Chains A and B, each alone.
Chain A
Amino acid sequence: MVNALAWMKEEDPPSNPAKNRRGPMVEIRDLSVYYGDTQALHGVTMDIPDRQVTALIGPSGCGKSTLLRSLNRMNDITSNANTTGEILIQGQRILDPDTDVANLRKRVGMVFQKPNPFPKSIYDNVAFGPRVHGIRDKPALARVVEASLRRAALWNEVKDRLTDSAMTLSGGQQQRLCIARALAVGPDILLMDEPTSALDPAATFRIESLMDELRGDYTIVIVTHNMQQAARVSSLTGFLYEGRLIEFGDTKTIFTTPKESRTEDYITGRFG
């Protein structure tokens, strides 16, 4: 906390180019996260714009996942995690103790690094979330499942085998299934933590094109170690280093004329 404030005074706060766009979907204010005694995030402040792809980059251990998992309160399940600061999603303070976490996670979906479909049928994977949130009506469920699979560009590949186990799908298909599963509860925001790092180039390409299609309707935040990917898919990029948001701005600017030397060093592969 003290450290974070000292740093804020020493240097310029990260720029917030999101302000002049559609208006922020997520406002992060002075967010610090601690795991026991170690501090993983130091006073991060950033605005994530509505219906754009925002990329988070930075070397391993710099706190990208921690930042992402703060947005749907997944850090809650880490017993020694502690959070200070403020996160507003559509103006609502989600770190308040009386936040309905189930409802928050319905609005903020998550896709993980390794495809993790449930060992259930393809249909049941997608229907899981809607069922959890109380949809019992069979035709309604079937509609949601189909729409979500279509949205995730998987429908044509699986429409004849919905009752097969999800484990029979390829890695890339599994990851698109996980995206469909997340979309099925109707989120506004999609958090993706290195969603293609376990996939081959062809499957990666499909996920990236999918993100391109989804960006008009969803606010997407993606963590990636792949600079080309960040450059390809995102309109904004944040560079995190040792728990601090070093620089945040238009992806093009970050990749061509970064203000900070550390950003440049990282992007050009001099460390990390």
Chain B
Amino acid sequence: MGTATPVDDETGLIAQLRAGDESAYEQVVRTYGGRLLAVTRRILDSEEDARDVVQDAFLNAFRNVDRFEGNSKLSTWLHRIAVNAALMKLRTRKRKPEQSIETLLPFFLDDGHHEERFRSWEEPVDIAMERAETRQLVRAKIDELPESYRTVLVLRDIEGLDTEETAKMLGLTANAAKIRLHRARQALRTLLAPHLAGPASAKAGETPGGKLS
């Protein structure tokens, strides 16, 4: 049982876990560990912390497997435990001084206009995101966001939590969570735009496909 394989019989696996079957623990770690690591890496920027958190999450899950209710999937349950463990880690570890987000927000002239003239992206985002390299780029840029903004963006836009849940998990007011999400999205746009914009010299109307109007 060396590699990650989809679990056909979750109920059987859970029964084995509850019975303390050693091979079941291993199967769970091999099956879900990689995905959980991807999740904790997104929240924490230290590889060591991300791994520690995955380990904590599994131990926590194994301890509480009796409380697992069959109405959600095992993967969903583990995912939630890992997210919670990652947030706990964020809260307890020493805050690193954080890069300011100001330089990644739009600048305005005195008359209230944007300072920048935004260049259209080369193709619609759905098309661009079909390429693995673009997806990789987006993940890398999310990782570049200052931590307190990245976590809000991850919880809201990627994990799909609502404002209230996000605020609660991070110990923020709902309003603060909203402001941070907005800034995080704007900052992500600033980071992505140079990579997604069409060529500066493109003659109007000549770029094939993907006109964003």
Our verdict on whether A and B bind, yes or no, reads no
A interface residue numbers (CB < 8 A to B): none
